[in-house]
Amino acid sequence: MLLLVGLGNPGPDYTLNRHNIGFMAVDAIAERHRFGPFRARFEGLAAEGALGPERVVALKPQTYMNESGRAVAAAARFYKVPPARIIVIHDEIDLVSGKMRVKCGGGPGGHNGLRSLDDHLGPDYWRVRLGVGHPGDKDLVSGYVLHDFPKADRPWVGKLIEAVAEHISLLAGGDEAAFMNRVALAMNPPRPKAAKDAASPKQD
C-alpha cells in the first residue's frame, strides 16, 4: 500500500492557487490512472486505485494547509503505511517555475503543510516538490502562494501536472531518478536533429 498525498487548501476560492498545485497533481493522477471517486475520509478526500502493481490511496487533506498532518496521519494509521511509503506532492517556492525535484526526508523549509506533516509523522516521507517560483521578497510569500496562477503560467502548470501524472508509476515503483528524468524531458524536450542535407554546405 502506498499513500499519495496532494497538499492544498479546500474550497473553490483556493482551487487555482499556487499553494494548491499538490491537489491539482493528485486530481490529474487519479483521472489518468482511473482511480475510484474521491470520498470524504480521514478529514480529507480519499480515492483508491493502482499505479502499476502498487495499490494506492490518494488523499487531499481538507483541514487547510497548516493542519495537513492530521489527515495524513489518520490515513497512515488506518492503512498501517509507514512514512517511507508516503509520497507528498506540494508547491515549492525555492524551485524555478516548472521544475520538479524528488527527495525523501528533509526539513519543511518554511512550508506550513510540511511542518504539520513532520509534527505528525516525522520527516522520513517522500516529497515531490513542484516549483512555483519565488516572489523575490520573503514578506510577499504568503500572498504569493495564496494567489491564483496567472493565465500566462497555466500552460506550463498544465504541462507539469500532466507529466507528473503520466510518469508517477515510476516513483511508485521506487525509481525516483527515472521519474525525475521523464518529467524533465517532458518539460524540456530535446530539439529535433536537423536533417543532414540541411546541415551540409550546398554545392553548385
The residues annotated with a catalytic role in the active site are: 19
The Cα 133–Cα 157 span in angstroms is 12
- Distance, in Å, from the CA atom of 170 to the CA atom of 176, rounded to the nearest integer, reads 7
Burial 11-47 (b: 16+ CB within 10 A, else e): eeebeebbbbbbbbbbbbbbebbebeebeebbbbbbb
Across-strand partners of 17? 148
Cα–Cα distance between 176 and 164 in angstroms, integer? 12
Give the sign of the dihedral formed by CA 28, CA 106, CA 123, CA 147.
Answer: negative
C-alpha cell at 113: 503543510
The strand order across the sheet containing 44-51 reads: 39-41, 44-51, 54-61, 2-6, 86-92, 126-131, 100-104
